[in-house]
Amino acid sequence: MMKPTDTKNPNYYHKVVDCQWACPAHTPVPEYIRLIAQRKYTEAYMINWESNVFPGVLGRTCDRPCEPACRRVRVDEEPVAICRLKRAAADNKSDVSGLLPEIPNQKNGKKIAMIGGGPASLTVARDLMPLGYDCTVYEKDPQAGGLMRTNIPSFRLPVGVIDEEVDRILDFGVVKKFNQEVKSLKVILDEDYDAIFIGTGAPKGKDLNVPGRHEASNNIHVGIDWLTSVAFKHIDKIGQRVVVIGGGNTAMDCCRTSLRLGGKDVKVTVRSPKSDMKASDWEIEEAELEGIPIFDNHSPKEFIHENGKLKGVLFEKMKAEYNDGKRTLTATGETVLFECDDVLLAIGQENAFPWIERDIGIEFNQWEQPIVDKTTFQSTQPRVFFGGDAAWGPENIIWAVAHGHQAAISIDNFCQNKDLKDRPSPLTNLVSQKMGIHEWSYPNDISNDDRFAVPHADIETSLTDLNLEVELGYDEKLAFDEAQRCLNCDIQTVFTENLCIECDACVDICPIDCINFTHNDTEENLRKKLTVPALNLTQDILVSDTLKTGRVMVKDEDMCLHCGLCAERCPTGAWDMQKFTYIESHAKKSTISEYVE
């Protein structure tokens, strides 16, 4: 027998909001999408800013874990374009300077050092500055931003967008120690910082040690270093024939940048089958749209050179075999030579800490990775915290932001002598959206449209200008139309047992057949005996207490459209549509609630 679902546990309704649940920073997605539809771009932007700090950047570059999670994928096909809607909020917002947190003139006397000026460190600074901390950022490059600035080419992310969102935090009064590469953590520890946050990312591109690598090194470049040099304008051209080795997003950025710096014949080669490539689908799509061929199952064997002048790369063709989901790549013996002038290596990157002394209390594991607590982000040296790619290897910007928020909470607790395990609970709320018998304060008449494509700049012009942004972003009309595709999964179907007269009205009207009245059983049996069996075990079922006839109400959350028809057809108000607000707690008191309608 299943017990009635405990909807008081904030995780129950939070999980129903698939996008927010999947987002590492738990951004309240449906809320800001509704605000975009109301042309309240500034409010939508601020909700994002509070939660993920870099909405303009993320609206162009986020890895979007929210989109594959979107319920629309399950009932329709394509997810709501959450990421690009975020950009629409950033593009159309008004001046937000008046809405930013106040930075106290009277500091609290605690000094924090952040090593590395990327998204993780900046998030820590964003959360701690309003609390009166004195924050110092060390950055080896002349400008802050980290990989957002150095590794993402400007045709995907214009410099102006990075400047705006990075400077907003620096302008809180962060002490900038730029062009200063920290060579020894011991030196920093010996200064008077109360806590140190390490957000140095994963800046070490992997090399490829095959014959000829050393001899032809003049024309073989490590992708992320090369992209950084392009970003800081130290490199502005490349040979006509370029081979990019690697299948991740960096490879996609390398090949597309090559095209804009004089590359005419640019190829991407991957060791694995194309379907196993690490790059996001949309990045692969964009590269192919620009005419770049991808050769999969090609494993580099040798760099061919004549007296140190690179002539090409010899590849061996591979064959992939799958056994019980495990892939094995075997060499076929067949080789192929791609002639080229330059090679870009984009076969992965890692974090490395040659600058951290091994005798200052920070323990490293067998893979030379620091031991970091998964909840507190504290290392074995209590004053030192890690976050972003520096903590556990390469992830995405949104993860760095989420780490930064958590590390800031820990640093605040640490400096105030509080228990680090004592994490602030999220702010949650549940409010009826009923405006009349069949009127709701959210748009329940959902759009049947397919996902709207984002307009692109003319491809010919794009390829001649490194700084011309390829994606133009949604205009207001497209943003509105796309926003209407959102199912408003944060508007919860709340069931009150003692009001139900078991008239079946909700069962009859539900377009997706997720409501059932049946006799209680084990979860496994209940799931099987529903009108449409609830076979997606990643989604919960909502089970009521026993009703008058001895049955229970069972609702499968999986496909629910949140259209509110069950509540409209309910004669007694046993069903109600209530907005569930979930706001992740930060060190800085969140002001999202000011923007939530």
Partner 1 sequence: MTFIKKPIFRHPSLPTNAIGLTYRDYEGVVSTLCAGCGHDSITASIIDACFELSLPAHKIAKLSGIGCSSKTPNYFLNNAHGFNSVHGRMPSVATGANLANRDLTYIGVSGDGDTASIGLGQYCHAIRRQLNLTYIVENNGTYGLTKGQFSATNDKNSKNKRGMDNPFGSIDLAVIAIELGAGFVARSFSGDKEQLVPLIKAALEYDGFALIDVISPCVTFNNHGYSTKSYDYIREHRSVFGDLDFVPEEETINTSYAEGETISLKLHNGREINFKKLGDDHDPTNQHKVINTLRENRAEGKVTTGLLYIDPNKSDLHQTLKTSNTPLNALPMDDLCPGNDFIDNINNLFR
Chain contacts with partner 1 (rule: CB under 8 A): 74-76, 437-438, 444-446, 448, 501-505, 507-509, 511-514, 532-533, 535, 548-549, 559, 561, 563, 565, 568-572
Is the Cβ of residue 34 or residue 156 nearer to partner 1 in the bound state? 34
Is the Cβ of residue 98 or residue 436 nearer to partner 1 in the bound state? 436
> Minimum distance from CB of 85 to partner 1 (Å)?
20
Between the CA of residue 130 and those of 48, 265, 385, 408, what are the distances in Å? 18, 51, 20, 12
Is the Cβ of residue 376 or residue 488 nearer to partner 1 in the bound state? 488
* Contact of 501 with 463, CB cutoff 8 Å: no
> Minimum distance from CB of 536 to partner 1 (Å)?
10
Please count the other Cβ atoms lying within 10 Å of the Cβ belonging to residue 589: 13
> Minimum distance from CB of 405 to partner 1 (Å)?
35
Nearest residue to 65 via CA among 23, 127, 5: 23
Burial of 324 (0-12, 13-18, 19+ CB in 10 A): exposed
- Segments of 36-191 assigned E as strands: 111-115, 134-139, 175-178
> Minimum distance from CB of 203 to partner 1 (Å)?
45
> Minimum distance from CB of 489 to partner 1 (Å)?
14
> Strands 349-350, 204-205: parallel, antiparallel or unpaired by DSSP?
antiparallel
User: Which DSSP string do the residues of 18-59 spell out, in sequence order?
Assistant: HHHHHSTT---HHHHHHHHHTT-HHHHHHHHHHHHS-HHHHH
Is the Cβ of residue 431 or residue 535 nearer to partner 1 in the bound state? 535
* Contact of 488 with 581, CB cutoff 8 Å: no
Is the Cβ of residue 330 or residue 448 nearer to partner 1 in the bound state? 448
> Minimum distance from CB of 437 to partner 1 (Å)?
7
d(CA 169, CA 216): 43
> Minimum distance from CB of 76 to partner 1 (Å)?
7
* Contact of 115 with 122, CB cutoff 8 Å: no
Non-local (6+) Cβ contacts of 275 within 8 A are none
Is the Cβ of residue 190 or residue 513 nearer to partner 1 in the bound state? 513
Looking at 387-497, list the stretches that DSSP marks H as alpha helix, in order from N- to C-terminal side. 389-392, 397-415, 459-462, 476-483
* Contact of 133 with 108, CB cutoff 8 Å: yes
Is the Cβ of residue 253 or residue 568 nearer to partner 1 in the bound state? 568
Please count the other Cβ atoms lying within 10 Å of the Cβ belonging to residue 13: 26
d(CA 200, CA 232): 18
> Minimum distance from CB of 515 to partner 1 (Å)?
12
Is the Cβ of residue 191 or residue 504 nearer to partner 1 in the bound state? 504
d(CA 532, CA 164): 50
Residue with structure tokens 């190829």?
267
Q: Which two tokens stand for residue 143?
A: 């400008």
Between the CA of residue 207 and those of 341, 436, 554, what are the distances in Å? 18, 65, 55
DSSP H or E stretch at residue 260: helix 249-260
Is the Cβ of residue 310 or residue 561 nearer to partner 1 in the bound state? 561
Helices 29-37 and 82-92: angle between axes, nearest 10 degrees: 50
399 CA to centre of own chain? 6
Please count the other Cβ atoms lying within 10 Å of the Cβ belonging to residue 367: 7
Helices 82-92 and 41-52: angle between axes, nearest 10 degrees: 120
> Minimum distance from CB of 75 to partner 1 (Å)?
5
> Minimum distance from CB of 477 to partner 1 (Å)?
22
Is the Cβ of residue 28 or residue 564 nearer to partner 1 in the bound state? 564
Is the Cβ of residue 428 or residue 546 nearer to partner 1 in the bound state? 546
> Minimum distance from CB of 563 to partner 1 (Å)?
5
Instruction: Map residue 177 onto helix, strand or coil.
Output: strand
Is the Cβ of residue 331 or residue 501 nearer to partner 1 in the bound state? 501
Is the Cβ of residue 120 or residue 554 nearer to partner 1 in the bound state? 554
> Minimum distance from CB of 88 to partner 1 (Å)?
25
> Minimum distance from CB of 565 to partner 1 (Å)?
6
